[in-house]
């Protein structure tokens, strides 16, 4: 359950973000789990992931999301990440929360074979036949992704999953991301 700030499109709010910029519209309020959630529900599965602003692999591109997880909840987000000339692909997500939440990044190349290398200490889902990725409760998470080699176009669709298995109360989080 989240609102977003960043490069700005409908459904996002604020100015700035993780090395991002822009202005957008207002987020909507959601419900669930008795939490005060300013969010875009439903976004509890990869199929219902809330779209974020498309970004490039230039480091001034990215965003920030503020959300609330109800006990046993999961939030999914997705964005198109374009590989541009003279910029470097370096996916990154960082979660700040008062509790250990789990964050995952999954990728699907626009063309070529999606190859993901997960950093030490993260769960490796790179063998997934659909959308390989990595998960961790120790952030930041900085996997590497390639779509076919050194000079390939590494443009991908990216999914971010945030979850918390707690059962006592709601947890707020802030999430920064870029490609």
41-178 adopts what CATH topology?
Jelly Rolls (2.60.120)
Say which residues have a Cβ less than 8 Å from residue 119's Cβ, sequence separation at least 6.
134, 136, 141, 142, 143
Does residue 34 or residue 130 have the better pLDDT? 130
Instruction: Give the number of other CB atoms < 10 A from CB of residue 23.
Output: 13
Confidence (pLDDT) at 30:
40
* Cα–chain center distance at 95: 10
Q: Are 108 and 115 in contact (CB under 8 A)?
A: no
For residue 93, is pLDDT > 90? yes
Mean confidence (pLDDT) of the chain: 78
User: What CA–CA distance (Å, rounded) separates 62 from 92?
Assistant: 9
Q: Are 27 and 40 in contact (CB under 8 A)?
A: yes
Pairing mode of beta strands 55-56, 74-82: parallel
Does residue 28 or residue 78 have the better pLDDT? 78
User: What CA–CA distance (Å, rounded) separates 93 from 112?
Assistant: 24
Find the distance separating the first CA and the last CA of the chain, reported in whole Å: 22
Tokens 């769960």 label which residue? 123
For residue 178, is pLDDT > 60? yes
Query: Could you tell me the pTM of the whole model?
Result: 0.78
pLDDT digits (tens, 9 = 90+) for 32-83: 456 766 556 678 889 999 999 999 998 778 899 888 888 888 899 999 999 9
């Amino acid at each position: 359950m989240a609102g977003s700030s960043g490069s700005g499109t409908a459904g996002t709010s604020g100015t700035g973000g993780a090395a991002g910029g822009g202005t957008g519209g207002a987020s909507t309020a959601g419900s669930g789990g008795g939490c005060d959630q300013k969010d875009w529900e439903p976004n509890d599965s990869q199929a219902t992931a809330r779209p974020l602003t498309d970004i490039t692999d230039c480091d001034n591109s990215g965003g920030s999301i503020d959300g609330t997880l109800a006990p046993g909840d999961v939030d999914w987000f997705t964005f198109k990440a374009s590989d541009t000339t003279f910029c470097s692909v370096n996916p990154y997500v960082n979660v700040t929360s008062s509790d250990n939440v789990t964050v995952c990044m999954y990728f699907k190349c626009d063309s070529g074979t999606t190859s993901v290398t997960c950093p030490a200490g993260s769960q490796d889902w790179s063998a997934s036949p659909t959308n390989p990725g990595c998960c961790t409760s120790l952030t930041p998470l900085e996997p590497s992704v390639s779509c076919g080699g050194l000079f390939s176009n590494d443009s991908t669709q990216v999914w971010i999953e945030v979850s918390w298995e707690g059962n006592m109360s709601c947890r707020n989080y802030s999430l920064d991301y870029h490609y």
